[in-house]
């Protein structure tokens, strides 16, 4: 059965672009976004509560609800706020543009680790600044003789790889931060007992050999670039571009 709330509620972004009739207000979606992003940058996503956000803005806990429908809207505003910093240079070839997309996204996520902690559904929302990046990326894939489906498959493949790689990389960094550990060495020494126990079972000989002989276990940038090279090489080979 259809419920009442299915009416086509005006989108968050639609409301934003129409300036409010009385502009004299202490609160605004922009201030909310900036304050929330600042808190999350400094203390992680779990520090974002509606009460904390309100106190940060110097208002009562329920005040921000004049501008957002709920906490999910706040997260959406935060995402769009930081994505304003990500733009791709024009005039590059498709491969350099995809590389800029990947490396730029990585920079952004490493500067705002909470981006990777958002629920996948929060990352689905098409905010203006994310749409702008997608448009830039797609337009760099235009004019290569690809049909629309192929163009999107390239964009999506790069985006999927970047998302997955950063999911992992930032999860490690968030773990470090939450426990107050400083570097990967400290992480490994903390996790060592568990890992040693796993290895003692003798069930994972190949994995164990990796642990013993690998030399770039901590080189996150190299790992990111390696995978990115695979993806871009494969696109070039498969599509002949």
Partner DNA sequence: ATTTCGTGAGATACAACGTACACATGAGTG
Partner DNA sequence: CACTCATGTGTACGTTGTATCTCACGAAAT
- Interacting residues toward DNA by CB under 7 A: 20-22, 24-27, 48-52, 54, 58-63, 65-67, 70-72
Report the residue from 126, 182, 185, 221 that binds a second copy according to the rule CB under 8 A.
126
- The distance from CA 72 to its chain's CA centroid, rounded to whole angstroms, is 15
Report the residue from 49, 142, 182, 221 that binds a second copy according to the rule CB under 8 A.
142
Say whether residue 4 binds a second copy (CB under 8 A).
no
Report what 60 binds from a second copy, DNA, none; CB cut-off 5-8 Å by kind.
DNA
Say whether residue 149 binds a second copy (CB under 8 A).
yes
3-state SS of 47-67 is HCCHHHHHHHHCCCCCHHHHC
In 3D, which of 105, 92, 106 has the Cα closest to residue 173? 106
- Closer by beta carbon to a second copy, 67 or else 170: 170
**Rounded distance between C-alpha atoms, residue 215 and residue 224, angstroms:** 15
Say whether residue 227 binds a second copy (CB under 8 A).
yes
Interacting residues of 26 by C-beta distance below 8 A, sequence separation 6+: 57, 58, 59
Secondary structure (DSSP) of 88-105: PPSS--HHHHHHHHHHHH
Span 66-105, contacts to a second copy by CB under 8 A: none
Report what 196 binds from a second copy, DNA, none; CB cut-off 5-8 Å by kind.
none
Report the residue from 50, 159, 184, 188 that binds a second copy according to the rule CB under 8 A.
159
- Interaction mask 106-125, a second copy, x per CB under 8 A: ----------xx-xxx-xx-
| 48 CB burial (10 A radius; 0-12, 13-18, 19+) | buried
């Amino acid at each position: 059965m259809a419920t009442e709330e299915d009416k086509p509620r005006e989108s968050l972004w639609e409301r934003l672009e129409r300036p409010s009739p009385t502009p004299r207000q202490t609160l605004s979606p922009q201030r909310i976004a900036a304050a929330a992003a600042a808190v999350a940058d400094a203390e992680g996503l779990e520090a974002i509560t509606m009460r904390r956000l309100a106190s940060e803005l110097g208002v009562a806990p329920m005040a921000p609800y004049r501008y957002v429908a709920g906490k999910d809207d706040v997260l959406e505003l935060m995402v769009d706020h930081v994505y304003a910093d990500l733009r791709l240079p024009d005039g590059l070839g498709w491969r350099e543009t995809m590389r800029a997309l990947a490396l730029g996204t990585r920079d952004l996520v490493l500067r705002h680790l909470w981006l990777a902690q958002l629920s996948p559904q929060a990352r689905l929302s098409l905010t203006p600044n994310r749409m702008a990046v997608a448009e830039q990326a797609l337009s760099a894939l235009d004019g290569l003789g690809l049909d629309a489906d192929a163009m999107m498959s390239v964009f999506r493949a790069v985006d999927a790889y970047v998302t997955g790689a950063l999911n992992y990389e930032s999860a490690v960094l968030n773990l470090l931060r939450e426990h107050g550990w400083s570097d990967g060495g400290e992480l490994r020494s903390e996790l060592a007992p568990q890992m040693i126990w796993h290895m003692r079972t003798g069930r994972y000989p190949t994995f164990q050999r990796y642990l013993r002989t690998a030399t770039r276990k901590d080189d996150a940038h190299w790992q990111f670039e390696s995978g990115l090279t695979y993806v871009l090489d494969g696109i070039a080979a498969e599509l002949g571009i």
